[in-house]
Amino acid sequence: MSQSHYPHPLIAREGWPYLGGSFLAAALVTAVAGWPWGLPLWLFALFVLQFFRDPARLVTAPAQAVVSPADGRIVAVMPVTDPWLNRPAIKISVFMNVFNVHSNRSPVDGTVTAITYHPGKFVNADLDKASEHNERNAICLQTTSGHRITCVQVAGLIARRILCYTAVGATLVRGERYGFIRFGSRVDLYLPPEARVRVAIGDRVSAALTTLAELP
């Protein structure tokens, strides 16, 4: 669904079943057993509410900018081999904790040329080995200027569901919402080696708003 048509009611559509269940359970326990028993469930319901928030984002970066595909913290910036395109690349990884917004957004304007899903483990997504061992879903994009990049959703220790809504042949625009990962995770971005990196390890980034790199 394109950025212009995806409704932004502040809460992600993926969260409504969890929100409904958690608030209903809190209300029932409070009604039957009172506030002392219901309070922990109300706190959990508030946690679920903040986890599934999904604010609208407007990209203002210049055309050559690669924007962050996720909210979170930079945990890796390194030269590697892109395992999906089998070529040298610069890898930038964004770790999302349970308090970050978990919508995933396209980092560039481009066409989806491949989507590859791999089942795997669920080790802590903050660790670099998560890129190789965890459940993951990769989309390969060819930009309008001819560059090829790979954006990989990686499940984490708590995350147990990767959601990807795009398809091969689809055209994405920067900042367009294309997926969601439930409950803590990571996104790896593989860029051409000539890309100029604009972030460092430890930086806090916001999906669609922070420039991670610039393409020549």
DSSP string, the chain: --TTTS---EE-GGGHHHHHHHHHHHHHHHHHH-HHHHHHHHHHHHHHHHHTEE------S-TTEEE-SSSEEEEEEEEEEETTTTEEEEEEEEEE-TTS--EEE-SSSEEEEEEEEE--B---TTSTTHHHHB-EEEEEEEETTS-EEEEEEEE-SS--EEEE---TT-EE-TT-EEEEEESSEEEEEEE-TT-EE---TT-EE-TTTSEEEE--
- Cβ–Cβ contacts within 10 Å for residue 62, how many? 8
179 neighbors 160 (Cβ within 8 angstroms): no
Residue 191: inside a domain, yes or no? yes
Residue 59: inside a domain, yes or no? no
Q: Which of 93, 103, 131, 185 is catalytic?
A: 185
Distance of alpha carbon 161 from the chain centroid? 12
Q: Work out how many domains the chain is built from and give that number.
A: 2
Residue 46: inside a domain, yes or no? yes
Residue 101: inside a domain, yes or no? yes
Return the structure tokens found at 65.
């900018």
Return the structure tokens found at 85.
């395109």
Return the structure tokens found at 211.
């420039």
Residue 1: inside a domain, yes or no? no
CA diameter of the chain: 63
Looking at the fold, whether 118 and 178 belong to one and the same domain comes out as yes
Q: Is 185 marked active-site?
A: yes
Confidence (pLDDT) at 125? 46
pTM of the model: 0.84
Looking at the fold, whether 39 and 116 belong to one and the same domain comes out as no
Return the structure tokens found at 136.
């993951």
Looking at the fold, whether 33 and 70 belong to one and the same domain comes out as no
Looking at the fold, whether 119 and 199 belong to one and the same domain comes out as yes
- Cβ–Cβ contacts within 10 Å for residue 3, how many? 20
Looking at the fold, whether 22 and 115 belong to one and the same domain comes out as no
Residue 29: inside a domain, yes or no? yes
Looking at the fold, whether 49 and 74 belong to one and the same domain comes out as no
- Taking the chain (216 residues) in runs of 10, the rounded mean pLDDT of each run is 52 82 92 90 89 86 93 95 95 91 92 89 52 80 94 75 90 92 85 96 95 95
Residue 4: inside a domain, yes or no? no
Looking at the fold, whether 125 and 204 belong to one and the same domain comes out as yes
Domain that includes residue 164, residue range: 65-214
Confidence (pLDDT) at 4? 43
Return the structure tokens found at 127.
């660790």
Looking at the fold, whether 34 and 111 belong to one and the same domain comes out as no
For 11, 89, 99, 139, 186, the CA distances from 107, given in Å and listed in that order, are 22, 16, 21, 11, 14
Residue 193: inside a domain, yes or no? yes
* CATH code of 160's domain: 2.70.70.10
Looking at the fold, whether 15 and 73 belong to one and the same domain comes out as no
Confidence (pLDDT) at 2? 39
Using left for φ > 0, alpha for ψ between -120 and 50, and beta otherwise, residue 99 falls in alpha
Looking at the fold, whether 115 and 23 belong to one and the same domain comes out as no
Looking at the fold, whether 50 and 81 belong to one and the same domain comes out as no
Looking at the fold, whether 104 and 146 belong to one and the same domain comes out as yes
